[in-house]
Amino acid sequence: MSAGIVLKVPYTKIDWDAYMQQVALYAKGERDYMKLVGETGPLVYPAGHVYVFAALRALTSGGTDVRLAQWLFVGIYLATEAAVFRLYVRAKTPLYAFPLVVLSKRLHSIYMLRMFNDGVAMLGAFIAMLLWQSQWWLVGSIVFSAAVTIKMNVLLFLPAAGAILIQALGPRAFRGLMLMMQVQLLVAYPFTSKAFVSYAVRAFDFQRVFMYKWTVNWRFVDEAVFLSAEFRQTLLVLHGAVALLFVVRRWLRPSGMSVVSVVQMVLVPMSRPAVVQQQILAKMTPDYVLSAMATSNLIGVLFARSLHYQFYSWFAWTMPYLMSQTAVHPVAQYALWLAQEWAWNVYPSTPLSSLATVAVNAVVVVALYVGREGDYFHRDLAPRPPPEMASVSVTEVAPVAPPGKRRSLRQRTRKN
């Protein structure tokens, strides 16, 4: 399918040329982010993006060999697909969810015809999740931070990532945070050493306001309301509130920690008994990691004021898994997926298509919170005795007496 798209469907020029123009200035020695500009404007992504697309530029004759670039993005797409399948298999995802991973028309377009940086960032995020599923906590933290250096949408995973690392590492969670920060500083150093303010302002611009006409979600809201500070602040508060609800009631479940205990651990680190830590790690299964991370991301997507078409790659990969974790019937799950896919293929977006994407995301978030019988958050996570002790009661275990007193002990037991 991917090869057919590259060979038969015309390439769509959107951001590739701008990326190449910006990294060409970097290749000539420019390190001031204010001066790294292309036909679409200034560079607005962290330094990891620059290195990735500088490498792609070198491989594609200065960015002129677009067909080769498309083949390289086929590789990125297939690598992402393989990582997602591995995440699904480890999380014991129902088989009916797998076909939906490969059927998205919009996803193929984002990777093979538009070649956005979103796909590269998401590949990094999925690799980090695979490492966390294998309980490689610190290595996964490094990869996660590296993904953030490509595009900061990966920060939408951060609420769940924080809950995971605090429980998995205990007092060492601060070390994971320091590793993440060191990755950011190291990757950005060639730019921050020359023009720190320029890099901070451009690479992590949280005040960007996307144009109303290009948004896919919340398009059914009046434009004046959409652009207002009150609407932005309301979505931000809702995002924080819902994420906190999931943290408290869902994502801290393996350790049974409260938010207060989390804050205490961060402020006054205290070591845990090894046996307690092992019990917590035993409960942090692959399905827990994938469910928490993917849900955190979807919550962020739901309350994002503006989503462009390439942003579909942020959550389309994990939506089939998330739906499979709800009580929604599989047939209805397919219907929800079709509604979402239809909405993201309507161009330009309409109030109806926009309402569809927000409604589907909202339904899935609510259904995830409610859960279903048998999913991770409805299981009994209490520690169980070893199998050989499961059928032996405490009263059946005879006390051990010194050799000289064993006879009298048996006699007393017989009398009782």
The DSSP code sequence of 215-250 is: -SSSTTS-HHHHTSHHHHHHHHHHHHHHHHHHIIII
Average pLDDT over residues 1-26: 92
Residue 95 burial (10 A CB sphere; 0-12, 13-18, 19+): exposed
With the CA atoms of 273, 274, 279 and 281 taken in that order, what torsion angle do they form, in degrees rounded to the nearest 10?
A: 120
Q: Which residue bears the tokens 């089939």?
A: 320
Q: What is the DSSP letter of 42?
A: E
Per-residue model confidence (pLDDT) at position 41: 87
Per-residue model confidence (pLDDT) at position 134: 97
With the CA atoms of 256, 260, 261 and 266 taken in that order, what torsion angle do they form, in degrees rounded to the nearest 10?
A: 130
Where is average pLDDT lowest: 137-141, 310-314, 410-414?
A: 410-414
Q: How confident is the model at residue 405 (pLDDT cuts 50, 70, 90)?
A: very low
Q: Three-class SS of residue 281? A: helix
Per-residue model confidence (pLDDT) at position 404: 47
The answer to whether the beta carbons of residues 361 and 216 sit under 8 Å apart is no
What pTM was computed for the model?
Answer: 0.89
The answer to whether the beta carbons of residues 280 and 167 sit under 8 Å apart is yes
Q: What pLDDT digit, counting tens, does each position of 341-390 carry?
A: 999 999 999 999 999 999 999 999 999 999 887 788 878 786 555 444 44
Q: How confident is the model at residue 336 (pLDDT cuts 50, 70, 90)?
A: very high
Per-residue model confidence (pLDDT) at position 409: 39
Share of the chain above pLDDT 70, in %: 90
CA gap 145, 155 in Å, rounded: 9
Per-residue model confidence (pLDDT) at position 396: 38
Per-residue model confidence (pLDDT) at position 398: 41
CA gap 202, 163 in Å, rounded: 29
Q: What pLDDT digit, counting tens, does each position of 162-196 carry?
A: 999 999 998 788 888 899 999 999 999 999 998 99
Q: What pLDDT digit, counting tens, does each position of 290-325 carry?
A: 999 999 999 999 999 999 999 999 999 999 999 999
Per-residue model confidence (pLDDT) at position 390: 42
Per-residue model confidence (pLDDT) at position 277: 85
For residue 403, cis peptide bond before it (omega within 30 degrees of 0): no
Share of the chain above pLDDT 90, in %: 75
Per-residue model confidence (pLDDT) at position 381: 80
Per-residue model confidence (pLDDT) at position 269: 67
CA gap 130, 151 in Å, rounded: 19
User: What residue ranges do the domains of the chain occupy?
Assistant: 2-378
Kindly tell me if the per-residue pLDDT of 403 is higher than 60: no
Kindly tell me if the per-residue pLDDT of 232 is higher than 90: yes
Q: Which residues, including other chains, have CB under 8 Å from residue 386's CB and lie 6 or more apart?
A: none
Kindly tell me if the per-residue pLDDT of 204 is higher than 90: no
Highest-pLDDT range among 127-131, 167-171, 217-221: 127-131
Per-residue model confidence (pLDDT) at position 235: 96
Q: What are phi and psi of 167, to 5 degrees?
A: -75, -40
Q: How confident is the model at residue 400 (pLDDT cuts 50, 70, 90)?
A: very low
The answer to whether the beta carbons of residues 76 and 119 sit under 8 Å apart is yes
Q: Three-class SS of residue 43? A: coil
CA gap 75, 199 in Å, rounded: 30
CA gap 315, 153 in Å, rounded: 11
Q: Where are the beta strands (DSSP E) in 175-229?
A: none
The chain-wide mean pLDDT, for the chain, equals 89
Per-residue model confidence (pLDDT) at position 411: 47
Kindly tell me if the per-residue pLDDT of 414 is higher than 80: no
Of 149, 156, 100, nearest to 311 by C-alpha is 156
Per-residue model confidence (pLDDT) at position 261: 82
Of 292, 290, 344, 288, nearest to 316 by C-alpha is 344
The answer to whether the beta carbons of residues 356 and 339 sit under 8 Å apart is yes
The answer to whether the beta carbons of residues 238 and 365 sit under 8 Å apart is no
